[in-house]
Amino acid sequence: MPQIDHTVHVALGERAYDILIGPRLLEEAGAILADRFPGRRFGIVTDETVAKAQLPRLQTALDAAGLSYSAIVLPPGEATKSYSALEQVVEGLLAARLERGDLVIALGGGVIGDLAGFAAAITRRGMDFVQMPTSLLAQVDSSVGGKTGINSPQGKNLVGAFHQPRLVLADLSTLDTLPLRQFAAGYAEVVKYGLIDDPQFFEWLEANRSEIFAGGPARGEAIARCCAHKARVVIEDETETGVRALLNLGHTFGHALEKDTGYSDRLLHGEGVSIGMVLAHGFSTRLGLAPGQDASRVENHLKAAGLPTRLADIPGEIGSTETLMAAVAQDKKVQRGALTFILTRGIGQAFIEKNVDPQVVHGYLEEMRSA
């Protein structure tokens, strides 16, 4: 019997699925897949780094269960969420003669999950897929909820599909090989859940951050709480026509910064979100919506986790305020010309504001550049 510490059910009717969280689920993957998807074949999609660190564990388990699979290995990094990598994955799945009822396995971080999920969505007009997230960010965020896609030269995640996985297997031990900087970046998304609407969780994180980073039981608990939170939101608003947009707290600024730094190692997604969340809190304070001490508390917590919190923390030059504003405007959370932002009334009190004046954002960013 596999050791499963936490199970989160995502109750989406016909598209319902489970998130299983446990210490060594890759070893159990063969048995779990054979049981849940009898007679299917599998196409594993992963990146070179994860292939080295984790793929042999999965292969051994699939072999032991007598499952048939092939593997497609891509270069690591955000640049892999591209049209050309998408084509490569789709063509690889077709070349492996996978059929509509077969399954794509996304083994990796959010890049692989988004890319492989999107490839599954469009290959033969829709194949099933399983998420096996190996980064903290993927385990708490990207592997749950069915948003899949790639980046456009015009902006992040502008091309994609809503396509729910059939199962998520989060193996906690995969995080043992994840670089600390990547772990911290994922932690920004953990903090996000507290900031949106769960002040107790934020407090709990303040008390348990060290244990989460060290790998104690609080780590699994934090991941399960994040998944449960995200599942709740996704059930309520699967295709992001409403409350799901709250999950974008920090992301409009974050995406603009990621774009500006070329989706490169200069700024990881979670690092952009960290700075973005601090900016969102600071901006809300500036608008007189939120108490200034909340903004400081947020910044202090993220800083203690080793995350960048200010524009000046980004190595190298960043673009002009005009460039950043253009990226903000092109971000997909633009509705009929007006800027939509996630603002907040304080820790755990985020809300969607659809009528933000671009001029005011411009002025705030200008000031933050020299802060």
Kindly list the residues in this chain that would bind a second copy in the complex (CB under 8 A): 39, 83, 87, 90-91, 94-95, 97, 99-101, 118, 121-126, 147, 149, 152-155, 157-162, 239, 330, 332, 334-336
Q: Does 57 engage in binding with ligand NAD (CB under 6 A)?
A: no
Q: Is 221 annotated as a binding residue?
A: no
| Residue labelled with tokens 């091309």 | 159
Among 18, 27, 28, 78, binds ligand NAD (CB under 6 A): 78
- Residues composing the chain: 371
Q: Which does 309 bind (CB under 5 to 8 A by kind): ligand NAD, a second copy, none?
A: none
* Residue 94 binding result from a second copy, ligand NAD, none, given CB thresholds of 5 to 8 Å by partner type: a second copy
CA 129 to each of CA 90, 205, 350: distance values in angstroms, whole numbers, following the listed order: 13, 32, 32
Residue 344 binds ligand NAD (CB under 6 A): no
Q: Is 310 exposed, middle or buried (0-12, 13-18, 19+ CB in 10 A)?
A: middle
Residue 81 contact partner, candidates a second copy, ligand NAD, none, CB within 5 to 8 A by sort of partner: ligand NAD
User: Which does residue 83 touch among a second copy, ligand NAD, none (CB within 5 to 8 A, set by kind)?
Assistant: a second copy
Collect all residues with Cβ–Cβ distance below 8 Å to 153 and sequence separation of at least 6: none
Does 241 show up as a binding residue in the annotation? no
145 belongs to the binding site for ligand NAD (CB under 6 A): yes
Q: Are strands 147-152 and 155-162 parallel, antiparallel or unpaired?
A: antiparallel
Rounded least distance, CB 338 to ligand NAD, Å: 24
**Which residue from 239, 254, 264, 249 is spatially nearest to 81, judged by alpha carbons?**
264
Beta-carbon contacts of residue 70 (< 8 Å; ≥ 6 apart):
42, 43, 44, 92, 96, 98
Does position 54 bind ligand NAD by CB under 6 A?
yes
Q: What is the DSSP letter of 141?
A: I
Q: How far apart are CA 32 and CA 24, in angstroms?
A: 12
Compare residues 119 and 224 and give the one whose CB is closer to a second copy. 119
Sign of CA dihedral 132, 254, 89, 102: positive
Q: Is 131 in the site for ligand NAD (CB under 6 A)?
A: no
Q: Is residue 228 part of the contact set for ligand NAD (CB under 6 A)?
A: no
Inter-residue contact 291 to 205 (CB < 8 Å): no
Provide, rounded to whole angstroms, the least separation between the CB of residue 253 and a second copy. Answer: 19
| Annotated binding-site residue? 135 | yes
Minimum Å distance from CB 222 to ligand NAD? 16
Six-digit token string for 209: 């951050």
Between 320 and 335, CB nearer to a second copy? 335
Is 349:197 a contact under the CB 8 Å cutoff? Answer: yes
- Least separation in angstroms between CB 101 and a second copy: 7
Is 301 annotated in a binding site? The answer is no
With H, G, I as helix, E, B as strand and everything else as coil, classify residue 165: coil
Catalytic residue set: 125, 147, 189, 230, 240, 244, 248, 251, 255, 269
Q: For the CB of residue 108, give the shortest distance to ligand NAD in the complex, in Å.
A: 5
Residue 112 sits in the site that holds ligand NAD (CB under 6 A): yes
Q: 47-85: string of b/e by CB count within 10 Å (b at 16+)?
A: bebbbebbbebbbebbeeeebebebbbbebebebbbeeb
Residue 40 or 225 having the CB closest to ligand NAD: 225
Question: What residues are paired with 170 via a beta bridge?
Answer: 21
Is residue 105 marked as binding? no
Q: How far out from the chain centre does Cα 55 lie?
A: 21
Give the annotated binding-site residues: 110-114, 134-135, 147, 156, 174-177, 189, 251, 269
Which residue ranges make up the site for ligand NAD (CB under 6 A)? 47, 49-50, 53-54, 76-78, 81, 108-112, 114, 134-135, 137-138, 141-142, 145, 147, 156-157, 174, 177-178, 182, 185, 269-270
